[in-house]
Amino acid sequence: MLTKVHPERLFIGSIMLAFALLIMATVGIKPQLLQSLQFLILFVSLLLVIWIGIKAGKFDIITNRLRNRAVGWLIAATFSTALWSFAHKSTQLVFPALKEFRKIWNTFEPFALFATVVFILFALILFIVGSRDSKLERPGFIERSLVHNLSSKIAALPMVLTAVGVFVIATLWTVYHSFTNSRMLPKSEFIGLAQYERLWNSDRWYMSIENLAIYGACSLIFSLVIGFMLAALLDQKTRFENTFRTIFLYPFALSFIVTGLVWQWILNPDYGVQKIVRSLGFDSFVFNPLYNMDIVIYGILAAGLWQGTGFIMCLMLAGLRGIDQEIWKAARIDGIPMWKTYIQIVIPMMRPVFITTLVIIAAGIIKVYDLVVAQTSGGPGISSEVPAKYVYDYMFGAQNLAQGFAASTMMLVSVLIVLIPFTYLEFGRRKNA
């Protein structure tokens, strides 16, 4: 509601916004503009601090239970000031040793400056809000967001920064440049949707998508089914279970390139299966999937399954082991046949495992690249191309960054189209349950 503005929330929000802008400016998106914007927003938050101070009226610093925290932020501000000053000539003249790490200090400089300002603001706000809120029984918003579980927040910060930096910023950057005519180097010259038009007019892209669809559907179904069946078999108190598990898991330890090469040999008519069967006397036997445009993708699929199924089996086995043995006993006493117990009781109980597995398999499908490169290099012709290879080839082979970006943006969009309803369903279910 507009009548009840929460200056504290605005404050935290603006600090976060300023931080996001700082990161974007550092990454290189509109550096000057975003930097000045960021300090503008920091200024706004300073004004907010003053406003909160005025609204708070009377201060009672002595009884302020947050005083230590505020002092802590001040100390942190001192440290970051020091860090900031390390990048400056005058400090480096006093401490010559600092010069050796000049590059590091220069990287830290903007962050240190930003941190100084933010920490001082934090300290101020804790003094002000804290002296007001310390009379409240329940911690206020600021106290909860700045003080509560502080150490875990600090510990999570590097990961949050990485996630924001890699996933959000880099993604935005990619999408942004897919609308430009960047070739070898990123440029900011907008040409609208031209890259996408070109993409969707390309036979190679269509072929890639078709292949990905076939590969994806088959690999999803087969690795789930085979992985689950193997796990269910191993779960029957099999002897030598460890041995089997190791054998099935071995391929996972190989890199895709090695798997690809191995399977290229196996499927190669001159060295592999065809040769062996022919040498047994079946002279007209033909088996050369990698040289047949219609079925080449299934050759790649075989290698992919061989590599991935063992891992899926291990995940499933862990899930099966997590099921209470007494559930099995209860089902046996109830007279439920084994297959029905699996389908109606055990698999629904393993839902979280299945979701994890699904995500892992899906990620593997989207990024399939090295297998293709090692087995066929996309051939014969373009019949085994996949989207990831398209992106890579355009970005680094054809030196057409923007085209590669457009293709990767399309991949991202399709992933989101699948993912958003899925998470929505999951999330909604949680809420209802």
Residues 297-326 binding another protein (CB under 8 A) are: 324, 326
SS3 content of the chain, % helix, strand, coil (to 5): 75, 0, 20
Torsion angle defined by CA atoms of residues 113, 118, 119 and 124, in that order, rounded to the nearest 10 degrees: 130
* Interface stretch with another protein, choices 38-46, 333-341, 377-385, 388-396 (CB under 8 A): 333-341
d(CA 224, CA 268): 28
Q: Is 385 exposed, middle or buried (0-12, 13-18, 19+ CB in 10 A)?
A: buried
The angle subtended at Cα 28 by Cα 26 and Cα 34, nearest 5°, is 70
| Residue 354: CB minimum distance to another protein, A | 13
Q: Residues 55, 148, 153, 332: which binds another protein (CB under 8 A)?
A: 332
What single DSSP character describes residue 210?
Answer: H
Burial, 239: exposed, middle or buried (Cβ in 10 Å; 0-12, 13-18, 19+)? exposed
The answer to whether residue 345 forms part of the interface with another protein (CB under 8 A) is yes
327 binds another protein (CB under 8 A): yes
Positive or negative, the CA dihedral 137, 141, 143, 148 is positive
Instruction: Kindly tell me which of 82 and 330 has the beta carbon lying closer to another protein.
Output: 330
Q: How many residues bind another protein (CB under 8 A)?
A: 18
Among 57, 96, 281, 335, binds another protein (CB under 8 A): 335
Among the residue ranges 111-119, 289-297, 313-321, 336-344, the one whose residues contact another protein (CB under 8 A): 336-344
Please give the structure tokens belonging to residue 317.
Answer: 């086995």
By the 8 A CB rule, do 384 and 297 touch? yes
Among 330, 343, 415, 425, binds another protein (CB under 8 A): 330
Cβ proximity to another protein, 236 vs 284, nearer residue = 236
CA 404 and chain centroid, separation = 20
CB of 362 to another protein, least distance (A): 24
Nearer of residues 331 and 401 to another protein, judged by Cβ:
331
Residue 190: helix, strand or coil by DSSP?
Answer: strand
Distance CA(272)–CA(266), nearest Å, equals: 4
Nearer to another protein, 31 or 337 (CB): 337
d(CA 407, CA 401): 10
The verdict on 148 binding another protein (CB under 8 A) reads no
> Counting contacts by CB under 8 A, is residue 348 touching another protein?
yes
273 counts as binding another protein under rule CB under 8 A: no
CB of 421 to another protein, least distance (A): 22
By CB under 8 A, tell whether 329 contacts another protein. yes
The verdict on 20 binding another protein (CB under 8 A) reads: no
Residues that bind another protein (CB under 8 A): 324, 326-327, 329-337, 340, 344-345, 348-349, 433
